């Protein structure tokens, strides 16, 4: 065996011997872009340092949660204090109530909320609740939207609207996904046809309001309006998955932005994660009292968790939410994010590279395409090899973006104007060599 001076590589070899692919979540493995994943040793503010001691400007932010940047002093203090009081009690705490109050204050479509430990758990539980509350089996999801890895949600489109989906993962029997219908995102006609065919059997429509798992694709206002109308007409629930967008694109989540354009708009159920835990394992789902009271112990829909509402996680989430609720927070975050996407767009144009970008609050996406895509097949027209060269060019220069072209990016309040300027200067060089 040759001795490597690259600590990332050494750690990766050790990891691969014991952990499948060397990682505990697939996208971390750099399979799409190639190369050695960076093993992160520590992070502070907008930066992360790898096992070789190299610094990166972090535009992943733990895939969304780190909206204040790493190691924010108020959050750190809250977590340290909570840890001293105890890690986990398996009994209710005042902090869970405070966090519920804080979330509901900003997202009023949620009259009641249940805390869980991951977005997957929250999405899975919301689906069970929708089915339990409506007494129906079928669910509609959209191609390219991700709602966690619950069996019934790991589905790609079937051959037509009359047929249901196929599992995208081994280990999911066809019977488990036979009630999941997968439609194209932003396709109003398909949604209308699906409801015409299956309306009385549909328990819910679940969607990302800004799809961050196909980079960054907004649900158009007419599409969202029609989804709301069709759900109401057919007695199905509209489930908005704000795991990524909640407290990230605006204090009231993406639903608050749609409500500005669609009078009276509100989802039936909302799924949250990421930012509400501030980097600790914490997620939630919630909605109207009448639906939420269907959950155990009040109602017949079972749902539970040993570590749900964990006292250290809720301390982290509460401290985070209190910081981001300060006046002007989102205006500043959105302006910094826009400075980044505008800078990257200018750098790409100067190099004659097809490029387009979009952002909302502290969430952004960019494509090596001339126009913003509206659905997953359009996202897939991106030249993957070109994206990989861009990714490695940026990484080698100390800028860490998501290692896959299907992922949104995140700017935190810790990213300075200088960080953005440094990123754009590097991008200008990299675009020049694409």
Residues 248-287 that bind ligand PMP (CB under 6 A): 273, 283
Residues 11-30 that bind ligand PMP (CB under 6 A): none
DSSP-derived 3-state class of residue 240: strand
Closest C-alpha among 151, 164, 100, 142 to residue 124: 151
φ, ψ (nearest 5 deg) of residue 338: -65, -35
Identify whether 274 is a catalytic site residue. yes
Pairing of strands 138-142, 363-367: unpaired
Structure tokens at 304: 């539970």
Identify whether 16 is a catalytic site residue. no
The answer to whether the CB of 49 falls within 8 A of the CB of 41 is yes
Q: Which stretch binds ligand PMP (CB under 6 A): 38-46, 144-152, 247-255, 367-375?
A: 144-152
Helix locations, 325-416, DSSP H: 329-350, 376-379, 384-396
Residues 225-244 that bind ligand PMP (CB under 6 A): 241, 243-244
Q: How many residues bind ligand PMP (CB under 6 A)?
A: 16
Under rule CB under 6 A, residue 364 binds ligand PMP: no
Identify whether 433 is a catalytic site residue. no
Query: Which of residues 45, 61, 144, 148 is near ligand PMP by CB under 6 A?
Result: 148
The site map against ligand PMP for 93-122 (x = CB under 6 A) is -------------------------xxx--
Helix (H) or strand (E) holding 71: none
Q: Active-site residue among 50, 138, 185, 241?
A: 241
The answer to whether the CB of 361 falls within 8 A of the CB of 333 is yes
Q: Which stretch binds ligand PMP (CB under 6 A): 187-195, 208-216, 228-236, 316-324?
A: 208-216
Q: Active-site residue among 274, 376, 400, 406?
A: 274
Under rule CB under 6 A, residue 366 binds ligand PMP: no
Residues 370-389 that bind ligand PMP (CB under 6 A): none
Residue 87 DSSP code: S
Structure tokens at 294: 């269907």
Rounded distance, CA 157 to CA 184, Å?
8
Torsion-angle region of residue 253: left (phi > 0), alpha (psi -120 to 50) or beta? left
Residue number with CB closer to ligand PMP (116 or 339):
116
Q: Give the catalytic positions in this structure.
A: 146, 241, 274
Binding site for ligand PMP (CB under 6 A): 63, 118-120, 123, 146-148, 208, 212-213, 241, 243-244, 273, 283
């Amino acid at each position: 065996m040759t001795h490597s001076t690259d600590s990332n590589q050494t750690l990766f070899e050790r990891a691969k011997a014991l952990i499948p692919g060397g990682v505990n979540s697939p996208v971390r493995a750099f399979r799409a872009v190639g190369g050695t994943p960076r093993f992160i040793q520590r992070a502070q503010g907008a930066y992360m340092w790898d096992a070789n001691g190299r610094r990166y400007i972090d535009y992943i932010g733990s895939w969304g949660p780190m909206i204040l940047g790493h190691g924010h002093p108020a959050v750190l203090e809250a977590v340290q204090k909570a840890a001293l009081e105890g890690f986990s009690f398996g009994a209710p705490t005042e902090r869970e109530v405070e966090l519920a109050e804080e979330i509901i204050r900003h997202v009023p479509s949620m009259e009641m909320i249940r805390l869980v430990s991951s977005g997957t758990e929250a999405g899975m539980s919301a689906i069970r609740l929708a089915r339990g509350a409506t007494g129906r089996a079928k669910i509609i999801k959209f191609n390219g939207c991700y709602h966690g890895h619950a069996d019934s949600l790991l589905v790609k489109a079937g051959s037509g609207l009359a047929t249901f989906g196929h599992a995208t993962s081994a280990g999911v029997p066809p019977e488990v996904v036979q009630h999941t219908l997968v439609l194209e995102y932003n396709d109003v006609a398909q949604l209308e046809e699906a409801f015409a065919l299956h309306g009385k059997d549909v328990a819910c429509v679940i969607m990302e309001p800004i799809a961050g798992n196909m980079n960054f694709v907004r649900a158009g206002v007419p599409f969202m309006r029609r989804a709301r109308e069709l759900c109401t007409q057919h007695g199905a629930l509209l489930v908005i998955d704000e795991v990524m967008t909640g407290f990230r694109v605006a204090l009231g989540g993406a639903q608050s932005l749609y409500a500005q354009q669609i009078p009276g708009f509100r989802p039936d159920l909302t799924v949250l994660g990421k930012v509400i835990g501030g980097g600790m394992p914490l997620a939630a789902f919630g909605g109207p009292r009448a639906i939420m009271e269907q959950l155990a112990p009040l109602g017949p829909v079972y749902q539970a968790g040993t570590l749900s509402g964990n006292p250290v996680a809720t301390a982290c989430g509460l401290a985070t939410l209190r910081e981001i609720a300060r006046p002007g927070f989102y205006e500043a975050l959105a302006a910094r994010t826009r400075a980044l996407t505008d800078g990257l767009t200018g750098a790409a144009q100067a190099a004659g590279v097809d490029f387009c970008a979009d952002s909302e609050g502290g969430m952004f996406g960019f494509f090596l395409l001339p126009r913003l895509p509206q659905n997953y097949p359009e996202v897939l027209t991106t030249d993957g090899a070109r994206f990989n060269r861009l990714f490695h060019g940026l990484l080698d220069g100390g800028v860490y973006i998501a290692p896959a072209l299907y992922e949104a990016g995140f700017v935190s309040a810790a990213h300075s104007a200088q960080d953005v300027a440094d990123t754009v200067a590097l991008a200008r060089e990299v675009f020049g060599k694409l």
